[in-house]
Structure formats: C-alpha cells, structure tokens
Structure 1
C-alpha cells in the first residue's frame, strides 16, 4: 500500500502537474519509480509535472493516483466532481458499524463483571481464524469486532496484574484485526486511530512481542499517513531491538517481520540495495524457523517472505524479476486465504509491469475465487480492471466484463 498523500490545498491555482509533483516528493518517490509503476518513462512523469503533457485519460489517471497514494482524484485534478473512490475504492457494507465501535466510548459499565481473560483471548484467536479462512472474511469480522473490542476494553480497565496485561495483548491483536478490516476502505482516519491505539495498548502491556506486532501494522499506517520511509524504518528497527530472536520462534518471527517491513519501505522509494539487504535478513529469519513454520496469525514464515519478494521487486519496478519470483512461489501453500489472494493480486501487478494482460486477468480471477472480499476491495485489482476494460483487448474482453461485475467496478467515462 503506498503512502497516502494529503495534498489538499487552499491554493486552487496549482496545476495538475504541480499536484503530482508534490504528492510524489512527499512520498519520497523518484520519477523513475512512479513512471515504472504506471508503465511510463521517467521523461513522461517529468513532462506531466512540467505541464508539457495534459491530464491523462481516466484509466491511467486512476493508476497514477494509486501509485501516488491519493485517495481522491480531485486532489490531483482540483475537480471535486471526480472521485477516485468511485472507481478504485469501495466501502464494505458494515463500515458504519465498525466506525461506531471504534468511536463510541462505553461509559458507566465499571460495575459490570469483566469476562474472563482466557475466554477473551480464545475469542481473539477465533477471530483470527475467521479472518484467514475462505469466504467473506471482512463480513465475518465486522460482526465480531464491536462486541470483542468493547469487552476487551472493559476488561483492560477492570482487571489488574497479569490478567490485565494478557487482556491488553489481546486488545492489541483485536485492533490489528480492525486495521486489516479497514485496509482499502475509504476511512483513513480510522486506520490511523486503530494503529495508534494498538501501539498504546502494547506499550501499556509492556510486551515486546505486542510492540513488535503493533510496529508491523503501524508501518502500514505510516504509509497511509504519508510518513517518509525514514520514520517507518526507524519504528521497525526500534521495535526489533526489543526482541530476543535467539530465544524463541515467536521472537524470531516478529524480528523477521520487522525487517520485512523495512525492506518494503525501501522498495517503495526505489532503494534497491537497502530493500534487498533487509529482505535478506527476513529471509534468514524464515530459514532459521524452518520450512514448516508459519506464525499462527501474522503468517510470517518461508511462504510469506517469498511472496513479498514479488511485491518488493514490483515496487522496485523490476517487472522481470517480480514475474520470475511469481512463477516460482507456491502461493497455495500459504495457510491464509486472504494472504493467498493478496499475493495472487501482487503477482498480477508484476505481470502488468510486463504488459502481459492475459496473465493479469487470469491471476485476478484466481484471486477473486480464493477470497472474494480481498479482491473486491483491493485498489490494484479495481484499477487494473478499469484499465483493461479501456484497452478493448478482445482476447480478455469477456473475462474483464466478468471481473468488472464481480468487483463492482464502474465503467470509465
């Protein structure tokens, strides 16, 4: 997910090119990186920014907004009538209920007996199982989250000692679920809210493991908030230093996860050497854990590290390398339908860099079949289908129509 740039301004005299440049520079992206990710040259990006080229047609404009992390095309065009969300971002039906659960404070329940800590943690584990299972994972979690968050918050206030710390760790994980539910939803302020709350609860619990998990998810939050890569890497490495990777698989897995976060942050801004160096450290952690290890809910392990090599190379605009990795990684071995679908979409993104439309359509259909609610709310999947529809490729025309219908993508004007 790219850094979402808030470039709204009272200065309505800014040109389209000036808005593009400001978003790109805020993200720390080079022209070469942006050009590669939208399938254009460095000179094309320069010409756009210098207003030598006009605003591109809608499919390419949508791709550019996605790469720059802009939620609303109006932030680039200055036209309030054009909304990127109409084409690339769709709200889940239960978003209002989840929003209420996160912004409603349960007051006056101090006399109520809290649920047992062990029972609450069992509910958190069940919620994670449902998130990673096949089918409507967002819908299932949206039903559970309001009561789960409320009961954990009440128990954290009412209990003390070790039970309180255990409940706080469970609350951290529940906030992670909320963050995942909110990913690719038109509610960036809620993503920031849950990220901050998860880190606060982890620190309150005084748990290095919980802090590490919160730092992994806060890296995604920082990208959404437009924080530069230095802040993201600094957070990941500070959390990693709290861990003891030689002591247990749990510590080693989270240590590897944080180095993977740093790798992805560097890849997003085109720093190949740093991206590969941190990926190598994550890879080493996965090797030490063994081929049969996968973290029960963070899913860190051999399969996840290999799959993220697709994302790393795609973000580095190394389409050939990304496709090479995608052709060798067995995504179906990942014990999470949501992860399998997400990385299948990332494989499609790799093939799109090579202009292989048939492969892109094939992989998007597979991702949709594996986890419909992952594909329907994925920005690349939605923008790619819009672009494929505009290309009028007869070979994939019927499949693209199917994907448009299933993803709920509107036709480009």
Structure 2
C-alpha cells in the first residue's frame, strides 16, 4: 500500500502494531468508527494533541510518518528533557574506573537507600536524585569491581539498584538510549551479584523498557526467566514474596499491553494474592510493591485492555493517599485521568492531573500521557480549557 494520505498511513501503522480499530480508538478515547473515518478520509487530520496521542500509542517516533509533512520528533513535544541529563549521561557512559579505595558495602547500601527514599519522597524527584547519581554511580562501580567475595556480590546488587534509578530518571526524556543502557547494565550487575532477588528487580525494570518499545513478548521472556529463579514464595521472607509478586505484576502488565485479557488478569490475581499475604499495610520500601500498588496497576490494566468503565471503577476504589511515594501517587493519578479521558469526563481529567501535579511536579512534567492530555484539553473552551492551559504551563508546555 502506498502511504500517500494521512488515512492510509494511519491504517498501515495501526495494522503493523496489531491493533484493531476498536483498540486504537479506545486507547485514545475515541470509537472504532472514528478511526475508520480517519483512515477512509471522511475526517480531516486531527489536531496536534491527538496526533501525538496516536503516535505514542502506535510507537511512532516522528509525526512525519503519519502526516507526510516536515519532520517533528514526537519526543520533542511529549518528552521534556531534564537540565541535569548531560551530567547523569556522562556518568553512565564513563568507561574508566577512578582510582582509590572502594567504600564499604554497608555505607554504599545506606547511600543507595537514601537515594531511593529521595526519589519517592521529593516533589521534584529528578532534580533531587540527579545531584546524587554521578557520585553514587562512581562509588558503586568501584566497589563492585574492587571488593572481593560476598562483599563484591553485594556491591553488584547495589550497583544494579543505582542503575534502576538511572532508568527511572532518564525515562520519558529525549535520550531513550540511556534508558536501554541503564536497564542492560542493571541486569548484568544483578547477574554478577548471583542474587535471584536482584535479578527479579532488574527484570521488572527491563520489562518496562521492552513494553515501552512495543516488544511485549521480550518483556514476558525476561520476567519468566527471572520468575524461574524465585521459587513459589512459600515459607520465604517478605522480601522474597514481594519480588515474586512484582514479577507476576509485570507479566500482567505485558499481557494487558498485548490485549490478552485472560492472562493479564490471571497474573494480576497472583500478584494481588502475594500482596494480600504481605498484609494491608505492607509496601516494599523502594520497589513499592504492596496491595495498594497492585490496586493502582489494576487501573493500568483496564486502560490497556480498553475497558474504561472497569478502569474508572477501579480508580475510584484506590486509596492513593496510602501510596508512600510521591512518584507512584502521581503516576497512579495520571492513569486515573487517562481512564476518565476514555469516558470523556474532562472535568475529572483536569482535577486528577492537578492532584498529580501537587504530588510530583516532575513526574507529571515528564510523563507523555500527562503532557498529551493537558495539550488536548488546553484547546477546549470554558473552564476545562482554562484549567488545562494552566496545567500545561506548569508542565513547561508553552501556550
């Protein structure tokens, strides 16, 4: 097929992604008939905010692939770059080790714990951890290379945790290669640690990268491989059970992204059972696995499976204030906003985005879905448009 019109291009990319018209329409808050009308040319090319949402859902990096016009990288609009990105990237890409004696494992672990607490509790989490990551990377790499025996393996596990933070810091920014590099190095460090728990955490974060890149099967494989190392969790510690549940939750997210509802909810049920065994007040201190987190990800599953009514119902039942992490609260509220947008409840979308922004300015500012929703609603008239334009400005979107 010659991709000489917007409609024909849209159809080609939709079919390549394996999505039906109903699924694509649902993911951007429209109907299958609306998608059909775009593809047939009965509707004009949508405005920029909707084009960006279509591109994100279809995994298109440049809007020219859809419009046939001048190049406009999607990331240049939907992904805001953090000012400290260059310094963090330089620390990650450094190939030589500094001289000097390595820090002791206990001291290194304490610093890594502090960095993770900073990530979860700061309202500007990227700015806060960017000041810590270069030095922490240097010391963790040195310890993982220079220490011996058990200390070396434990230092490697801490190095993996530092790379997980790098991945979170770099996510949704204009340097996706840094996210891949951090995920790959985290897995290598976890394998060097010979620690099933560290490998489980690395698999959780690696699977996020694969899903974001449109590779749900690769995401599933890395999670299954890690799951095989964990055992069934019976008689294990809370830490072991939490990592087992986290892997099952990752599998649920991957199946939902691929549209496999039965498998998605089966794994979600397993993750939920693990979380319930840990108790209603338990949340892992840095992985953030627990009952309330599993509940929040149930909203994500409903969105990806294009069941907006179920997603909205689940969002209403989530106690977001019980999430002991500003970044997770903000992320959960963004998903709740996505669910309401699918139902065209635009007042709720603005309200939820405002709540998310109060939790974490930088989570919202760097989240493509949040930016896309604000841009779309900023074009509305009346109170919704006025409030959305204020939100867009707070996200660094110039209107």
TM over 0.5: yes
**Bigger RCO of structures 1 and 2 (CA < 8 A, at least 6 apart):** 1
- Alpha carbons of 1:13 and 1:310: their partners in 2 closer, same or farther (altered >3 Å)? closer
The unaligned stretches of length 5 or more in structure 2 are: none
**Deviates most, 38-47 or 366-375:** 38-47
After superposition, the C-alpha distances for 1:176-205 in whole angstroms (9 at most, x for unaligned) are 000100111111111111111111111111
Match of residue 354, structure 2, among 362, 365, 371: 365
Gaps of 5+ in 1: 1-10
Structure 2 equivalent of residue 142 of structure 1: 130
Q: Does 1:185 align with 2:173?
A: yes
Deviation at 1:51, TM superposition (A): 5.5
Q: Supply the distance in 2 between the matched residues of 1:170 and 1:288 (Cα, whole angstroms).
A: 27
Number of aligned residue pairs: 397
Which residue, 163, 174, 181 being the options, matches 2:151? 163
Distance (whole Å) between structure 2 residues aligned to residue 353 and residue 376 of structure 1: 21
Label 1:19 to 1:113 Cα distance change in 2 as closer, same or farther (>3 A).
farther
- Change in Cα spacing, 1:208 to 1:29, as seen in structure 2 (3 Å) is farther
For 2:2 and 2:124, the matched residues in 1 are separated by 42
Q: TM-score, normalised by structure 1?
A: 0.91
**TM-score normalized by the length of structure 2:** 0.94
**Aligned partners of 1:54 and 1:395: how far apart in 2?**
27
Q: Is the 8 A contact 1:121 1:170 kept in 2?
A: yes
What pairs up with 1:5-404 in 2 under 5 angstroms?
15-49=5-39, 53-107=43-97, 109=98, 111-227=99-215, 229-244=216-231, 245-246=233-234, 247-392=236-381, 394-404=382-392
The CA RMSD over aligned residues, in Å, is 2.0
Q: Which moved more, 1:328-337 or 1:37-46?
A: 37-46
**Deviation per CA, 1:369-410, whole angstroms, max 9, x where unpaired?**
111111111111111111101222x13233122102101113
8 Å CA contact 1:12, 1:78 repeated in 2? no
Structure-2 separation of matches of 1:105 and 1:159? 18
**Other structure's SS at 2:131 match:** helix
CA drift at 1:331: 0.4
CA distance in 1, matches of 2:281, 2:22: 39
Query: Which residue in the other structure is 1:5 paired with?
Result: none
